[in-house]
Chain A
Amino acid sequence: DAKTTQPTSMDCAEGRAANLPCNHSTISGNEYVYWYRQIHSQGPQYIIHGLKNNETNEMASLIITEDRKSSTLILPHATLRDTAVYYCIVQNRLYGNKLVFGAGTILRVKS
């Protein structure tokens, strides 16, 4: 599985956009980029995923660079409830659908 690199932690002011980077320089052509988050004491929660194109849903936007070696998850208006650990995961159909979690980024949204 391709490896991902994320900053250990980030802070964001409430109401501002949170931009969480992820490096996946060894990603291969058939691998998707997925983002999950885990709010304290809960199970991981799916946020968004993409292959090549930028994606947007009701939770977030995903920006993938043209060479696909990095991506950014954007929470447009962060709230205190967005404080969580955010995981960037590269997933390959060849290896089934199992998720390989790294350490993730601890996002602290502050008022």
Chain B
Amino acid sequence: EAGVTQFPSHSVIEKGQTVTLRCDPISGHDNLYWYRRVMGKEIKFLLHFVKESKQDESGMPNNRFLAERTGGTYSTLKVQPAELEDSGVYFCASSQADTFASLPEAFFGQGTRLTVV
């Protein structure tokens, strides 16, 4: 079974440009999350999709970030226009639907390293 796939693995763009990151979750996982780690800081939550709906976007830093999840499958995270402080590693994670018994564990992708110059 394929894991969570992120594309590209690395991206270097100039300040002011647009970048789109893609995440393909594990098939059948309703929950999809975006996280990021900027240099020297902790991994921070960005947002959470349940199927195609945004459940929680409290971690999105500002309106230059736009996340979508078409048809509840893959997700994209667009940064427009990119700023220097957006540099970091962006992780995507997915998990199965919640059950009464427990919160399901999240499976993470390898991340996209974004460098804004």
Contact = CB atoms under 8 A, between A and B. Distances in A.
Same complex origin of A and B:
yes
Interface residues of A, number: 21
Interface string B49-85: 0000001100100000000000000000000000000
Given A99-B45, A102-B42, A42 B110 contact: yes
Contacts of A100: 45
Contacts of B111: 42-43
B13 interface: no
Nearest to A42: B110
A34 B104 CA distance: 10
Closest 5 CB pairs of A and B: A43-B108, A46-B105, A101-B43, A98-B45, A44-B108
20 contacts: A32-B102, A32-B103, A34-B105, A43-B91, A43-B93, A43-B108, A44-B93, A44-B108, A97-B31, A97-B33, A97-B95, A97-B103, A97-B106, A98-B48, A98-B56, A98-B59, A99-B106, A101-B35, A101-B43, A103-B42
